[in-house]
Structure 1
Amino acid sequence: MDGPLSSAIKELKGVLKYLESYRSDDGFASTITDAKELAEILGVDSDFKSAQNVRPRRQKRQFDYESEDQAVQDPKTRLKVGFFFQTLDVTISSIKERFDQLQAHNSHFSFLYDISALKHMPLTVLLDNCTKLETFLTHQDLKDIDAQQLSDELQVLSHSIDETVSLTPLNVLQHVVEIGIDCYSNFAIALRILLTLPITVASGKRSFSKLKLIKTYLRSTMSEMRLMDLTIISIE
């Protein structure tokens, strides 16, 4: 059973595979074709025009260069190299960099998605997964779960849970709460952490500062409490 983290990672791998295959001459040709069709619909000239009377910029050559780098003059080639390929390179690199943590989370929690399958898992493998999760949830001398206790709880729960019902992590946690959370305390903690993990790393970024709009020169002497209240009102 795939959880939201596993599903998100599969979708990301598909996106990466598509972008890497799209970064090619064929992908650029397809983009140019679509752009020309759109330009015809909008009544816009779709021909590439070279800049007139533009003096080519000369870059300073370092002492270890054997020859000068020739600037790309063809506008179509310049668009492909300086924009199309560059944009895809940045996108692919950003996806790989930003979702490394998401893949790490999934590798530690993936065995908790299908509880009924754990009864067929060798005990050594189950204990190894629990130990990795305990290490992952440990900070200095503090740890959220105990690996041996979690392994024992999963062995009991995997044999006692009803397989006819939906065994999503949320349903299993609700079942554990009904039984008694004290009986499966380590498992309940692990599931609550799993269910509160975000499946995206997107973050909201402000395009402008609200503070500059609130604290103008006419309100420069307001108290901190009033400024805080106005900021909250502006946010809401």
Structure 2
Amino acid sequence: MKHARVVHLGNVHSATERDGQLLLDNGQLVAEDAVSWLPPLAPTHRPRTILALGLNYADHAKELEFKAPEEPLVFVKGESTLIGHRKLTRRPAGVQFMHYECELTIVIGKTAKKVKCDDAHDFIAGYTIANDYAIRDYLENWYRPNLCVKNRDTCTPLGPWLVDAADVADPMALALQTTVNGKVTQSGNTKDMIFDVNFLIEYFSSFMTLQPGDLILTGTPDGVVDCRPGDVIVTSIERLGGLINTIE
């Protein structure tokens, strides 16, 4: 099932997808363009921790002229970076290079501590899409991006849906695509991740406790390009839909 959080007529609703429309928790069926979209996270399960992977696709590491990492390269993000589907992301004045990153995102479903790879699926509520913009002008260290690169308000659209884990048979075989103003600029597949979904849950839970609602952004393949004000970016992942965002 596909779950969403939206605002309709001034009220916040949980919603599910129904034949191309939204079925609100009050029983009303509305068009997708009749609402304001929020990140698809339950209010009782707001993320305490947002973990993001750098260079988790070998082709992206090569694109940036780095060798593939031997262990996960991870940074932490703040919740204020998150915005919903069809929202605006601000490009700071004077920036020379700001690019999207289409990322499969894991949403933790229950408390996870010292989870083994084979059991990781039991701790996943579902999956969504993140577009984790990076502002290269502010980058001081590829391995540990500083706050100005990855923790700016509005720079991580999330959604549109949270898709139940049970409805994604193999998260490691999903096609990814990004378009800028309708032109395909990035294509990839989650099978090319260096560190897969189950490994990441085992890895993180070996030294920290993951809580329901926590997010793991799993990195992006190659094909990133500069995004300018007015550009409409759609980051899509097979079975999860398409996340629309506009640069202002």
Q: TM-score, normalised to structure 1's length?
A: 0.19
More helix as a share of residues: 1
Q: TM-score, normalised to structure 2's length?
A: 0.18
